[in-house]
Structure 1
Amino acid sequence: MTTSDIAASPALTGVIPPVVTPLTPDGEVDVASLVRLVDHLVEGGVDALFTLGSSSEVAYLTDAQREVVLDTVVGHVGGQVPVLAGVIDMTTPRVLAHVRVAVAAGVSGLVATAPFYTRTHPAEIRTHFRAVAAGGGVPLYAYDLPVSVHTKLSADLLIELAAEGVLAGVKDSSGDDGGLRQVILRREGSFSVLTGSEVTVDSALWMGADGVVPGLGNVDPQGYVNLVRSASLGDWEAARREQERLVRLFEIVHVGGTRMGGSSSGLGAFKAALHLRGIIDHPATALPQVPLNDEETARIGKHLAAAGLL
């Protein structure tokens, strides 16, 4: 697929959850639970799946575990919905190694951040995305995640690379609503703009975003599908009500409080909720994350019950 073909690909829209990676208590990928999770998401009506993103604990997985996740999800989905693969790593050569594995697994698209750990210039970030796109031959989506990557992808850079056919879209997890709006206003063609914020989806859709990549969508995919459907029908009051219900449910990510890091609390909450709902066998997270205790898990259960999910 050439860059012109990629640029002409249909826009990615709707609900694209970043698929959690269930683990066994000894830290291996729980394939049976992952298959059940995929079924839960597809049956919930999602439009695509994003494997090996932040909510997938990609930073904690070995290369072999990444490959197990890809083979399991792509093989089980069997083309029912597109499957995107995060090829997230520190530098271009490492990302290109992940690209080769993901493309061989049969993914529909790739998701990459800017390089990190090393200090980069916008010229180097452009070169990075161009190399990844050329190495993949499938649509490439930029992941704007400055809280972890320490680089904000500017609207100028995204629009330039979109015009070249390098980027097919962006997942914006920057929290910069003004920047998001600039990209929406300036984009052309089928460039997809997806919000990564679970709690402001209705406002992003109202601005013209194409969809959402919600970690909480693992727990309640149908809720996000309902929200996006209401917005597409112009029923903004229904969209607001569903968004507010999801905002209340999103409080689960804070149950860990200050005794652990934000990733431990958030990812632990998603897994605890999926475990309580009977979708995955274990709520285990990868080392060195701090596990939730019984009292925190019980609080998650109360949030699920209040949201009508238990």
Structure 2
Amino acid sequence: MQLSGSICALATPFTADGALDLEACARLIDYQLAGGTQALVVAGSTGEAHMLTESEWGRLLAFALEHVRGRVPVLAGTGAAATAASVQQTRRAQALGADAALVVTPYYVRPTQQGLLRHFTEVAEHGGLPVVMYNVPSRSGCDLLPETAARLAGHANIIGLKEARGDAARIAAVAPLAQPGFAVLSGDDASAHDAMLAGMQGVISVVNNLVPAAMRALCDAALRADRAAVEQHAAGLAPLIRALECAPNPIAVKAGLAALGICHAGLRLPLIELEPGAARVRLVHSLAALTPVASAA
């Protein structure tokens, strides 16, 4: 499997009383597929994976897989702080039928580079699924360095890297790792266009939840190296991407999905809904500029 293009880090819808909302999940998946999204991540950080019970995690993934019916690859978020727990969750995802596992660097425990090497190797060799590594130091507290990622890229069952550091130096260091059988994907919406022009093969995107067609157009332009079109699409998306930065992810995404009528804006504590005010107004206005549905909401 070679991942590329526009990949959505799906939000997980909840009802007004906090229950898992699978009907809204179906609406969100349909919206993504209609907009040209090329793969989906279920129960990642945007999907509030750590707010889900084990039962909910399984129900959500099983439902998504059944609803997608193989139309695009489905990646399950299976990363944990402990390697054994990540292996076990990856095996669960395999049993449910996921196509691959998105495995975040172990959070809070701050492993060494050698520890990260062994961690990802263990998950790749014993989890039963192809592995996409996920580096997001701002959340995990550790950084998978490019030289470590390069060593892991040679493993037959490690098929990609989601790199959420969007600085130019990191993009330049990891983009050359892309090769047949190993995809390097941006995990930062604001710099994704630069990353793809530098050689990355796609983006696992947050803003994709709200504007899948616009993100697909950006990815298509970037992957064919049409710089003029890339600049045009990136400029159009920039206000919405900036608006989403008003609160920790996925708070603003949920507010945007509510404005689109896809799901309730609710999250689970300690995350709380985006409060009324200037930030919400900017979010709705920037979303309305990109989608007629939001304009009518």
TM-score range, shorter chain: over 0.9
Runs of 4+ aligned structure 1 residues displaced above 6 Å come to none
Question: 1:186: how far off?
Answer: 4.2
Equivalent in the alignment of 1:288: 270
Question: 1:297: how far off?
Answer: 3.7
Which moves more between the two structures, 184-193 or 81-90? 184-193
Question: 1:188: how far off?
Answer: 4.0
Tell me, which stretches of 5 or more residues in structure 1 are unaligned? Answer: 1-9, 256-261
Alignment of 1:203-282 (within 5 A): 203-255=194-246, 262-263=247-248, 266-280=249-263, 282=264
Tell me, which stretches of 5 or more residues in structure 2 are unaligned? Answer: none
Equivalent in the alignment of 1:160: 151
In the TM superposition, what whole-angstrom CA distance separates every residue of 1:259-296 from its partner, at most 9, and x where no partner exists? xxx42xx412111111111122x110111112223335
For residue 168 of structure 1, give the secondary structure of its aligned residue in structure 2. Answer: strand
Question: 1:298: how far off?
Answer: 4.0
For 2:177 and 2:9, the matched residues in 1 are separated by 26
For residue 273 of structure 1, give the secondary structure of its aligned residue in structure 2. Answer: helix
For 1:151 and 1:243, the matched residues in 2 are separated by 29
Instruction: Calculate percent identity across the aligned residue pairs.
Output: 29
Amino acid at match of 1:269: A
Question: 1:179: how far off?
Answer: 2.3
Question: 1:98: how far off?
Answer: 1.1
Query: Conserved in 1, the CA contact under 8 Å of 2:5 and 2:223?
Result: no
TM-score by length of 1: 0.89
Question: 1:155: how far off?
Answer: 1.4
Query: Conserved in 2, the CA contact under 8 Å of 1:197 and 1:214?
Result: yes
Query: Conserved in 1, the CA contact under 8 Å of 2:214 and 2:237?
Result: yes
Q: How many residues align?
A: 292
Question: 1:128: how far off?
Answer: 1.0
For 1:49 and 1:21, the matched residues in 2 are separated by 12
Alignment of 1:1-310 (within 5 A): 10-255=1-246, 262-263=247-248, 266-280=249-263, 282-295=264-277, 296-309=279-292, 310=295
For residue 132 of structure 2, give the secondary structure of its aligned residue in structure 1. Answer: strand
Query: Conserved in 2, the CA contact under 8 Å of 1:100 and 1:136?
Result: yes
TM-score by length of 2: 0.93
Cα separation, partners in 2 of 1:159 and 1:187, compared to 1, 3 Å = farther
In the TM superposition, what whole-angstrom CA distance separates every residue of 1:43-68 from its partner, at most 9, and x where no partner exists? 11011101111111112222122112
Quote the RMSD (CA, aligned, Å): 1.6
